[in-house]
Amino acid sequence: MTKTRKPLQKYRRVVIKIGSALLVDRATGLKKAWLDAMCADIAALRSKGIDVLVVSSGAIALGRTVLKLPPGALKLEESQAAAAVGQIALARAWSESLSTDAIVAGQVLLTLGDTEERRRYLNARATINQLLKLGAVPIINENDTVATTEIRYGDNDRLAARVATMVGADLLVLLSDIDGLYTAPPHLDPDARFLDTIAEITPEIEAMAGGAASELSRGGMRTKIDAGKIATTAGCAMIIASGKPDHPLAAIENGARSSWFAPSGSPVTARKTWIAGQLLPAGTLSIDAGAEDALRSGKSLLPAGVREVKGTFSRGDTIAILGAAGREIARGLAGYDADEARQIAGKKSAEIAAILGYAGRAAMVHRDDLVMTGKRADEKDGRRDEVHA
């Protein structure tokens, strides 16, 4: 079993969620010194080659300070207006602070549909991956200005967990004013015990999460445990730690109290298990021997190698891939809708734009979205038969 606590530099891609109370003071607004120290921690991680994504709360808290709204609960329209005002200031603050470490920030505002509907999920994921590829740090928040009660996360704990699974992160760090998980609310129960590692989120662990949240933020321990379930089942470890000290990531490295949740499996395995486990693929692609070889050597499926497209599917649906011998060899997420796939099957990637009228993706199924499910026709029990010429 993998050791639950590892130095942060052992991770490859880290999502850091920052609670409103850390960034915003009701009376004085943005906590600039704290943000600068946080950005220095982010720069330190990045200098070790780790991809960093930030899910930053604070838009509503900052906006209500700027607009001088009275304390207490806000109506939906008021929090939407507060978010509109606060998000500009928040994004600017991140951008300015990160730029002192020569890091470029990119603002990404998501709604529930962007992480839950497959097509939008793929689009959001592609944009975030592109930002990372270009060396920028995505600064993500829920698009509170347009999110309504029915279609919103409402808390950034679960949003951050969905982002972590979306980009295949291997670590999610939830920073807030809570330093971790206790067996009972510590301010109410003197016997409450701190839990520093959680191997699995059992019903007992879930029962320990009360409903309490701090005044500035929406997330309490409940949403943090929900986030833990989303992250760990997708193979992503999670840490709950206090963000109160300056340099909170350095503090975690130096052994500050924090609760670590062990992942089940690796992000890649979890994702591929999910793809392979889809019961009813929405369609099939029959491919030629050259494409089959390419897939077996870990490459993406290009339109040129596709001989036939069957079924009705949309981009993002799971489809089965049939090898040259007509048997299923792989499953993957379609990069194109079925009718588009039919039009570009057998065509070179350079011809796609002229056929579809827009420059689509080069791959019919990207290798990150592909899992091999069947052996080669001439393979038995995982061993390839010798071929005599």
Nearer residue to ligand GLU within complex by CB, 23 or 167: 23
Return d(Cα 233, Cα 162) in angstroms, integer. Answer: 11
Question: By the 8 A CB rule, do 335 and 291 touch?
Answer: no
Helices and strands (H and E) in the chain: how many: 14, 19
List binders of ligand GLU among 156-175 (CB under 6 A). Answer: 156
Nearer residue to ligand GLU within complex by CB, 138 or 283: 138
Of the candidates 106, 108, 96, the one whose C-alpha atom is nearest the C-alpha of residue 35 is: 96
Please report, for residues 197, 200, 208, 225, the alpha-carbon distance to residue 203 in angstroms, rounded to integers and kept in the order given.
16, 10, 9, 11
Of the candidates 89, 31, 92, the one whose C-alpha atom is nearest the C-alpha of residue 60 is: 89
Count the residues in the chain.
389
Least gap, CB of 40 to ligand GLU (angstroms):
23
Least gap, CB of 194 to ligand GLU (angstroms):
23
Least gap, CB of 178 to ligand GLU (angstroms):
12
Least gap, CB of 86 to ligand GLU (angstroms):
7
What's the burial of 233, exposed, middle or buried (CB within 10 Å: 0-12/13-18/19+)? middle
Nearer residue to ligand GLU within complex by CB, 122 or 139: 139
* Binds ligand GLU by CB under 6 A, chosen from 30, 35, 54, 60: 60
20: contact with ligand GLU by CB under 6 A: yes
SS3 27: coil
Specify the DSSP class assigned to residue 169.
-
219: contact with ligand GLU by CB under 6 A: yes
Nearer residue to ligand GLU within complex by CB, 46 or 222: 222
First and final C-alpha spacing in the chain: 46
59: contact with ligand GLU by CB under 6 A: yes
218: contact with ligand GLU by CB under 6 A: yes
Nearer residue to ligand GLU within complex by CB, 62 or 270: 62
Site string for ligand GLU, 68-107 (x = CB under 6 A): ---------------x------------------------
Least gap, CB of 61 to ligand GLU (angstroms):
6
Nearer residue to ligand GLU within complex by CB, 159 or 338: 159
What's the burial of 119, exposed, middle or buried (CB within 10 Å: 0-12/13-18/19+)? middle
* Binds ligand GLU by CB under 6 A, chosen from 57, 80, 115, 145: 57
Strand order in the sheet with 306-311: 306-311, 283-287, 318-322, 328-333, 370-372
List binders of ligand GLU among 109-148 (CB under 6 A). Answer: 141-142, 144
Residues that bind ligand GLU (CB under 6 A): 20, 57-61, 83, 141-142, 144, 155-156, 217-219
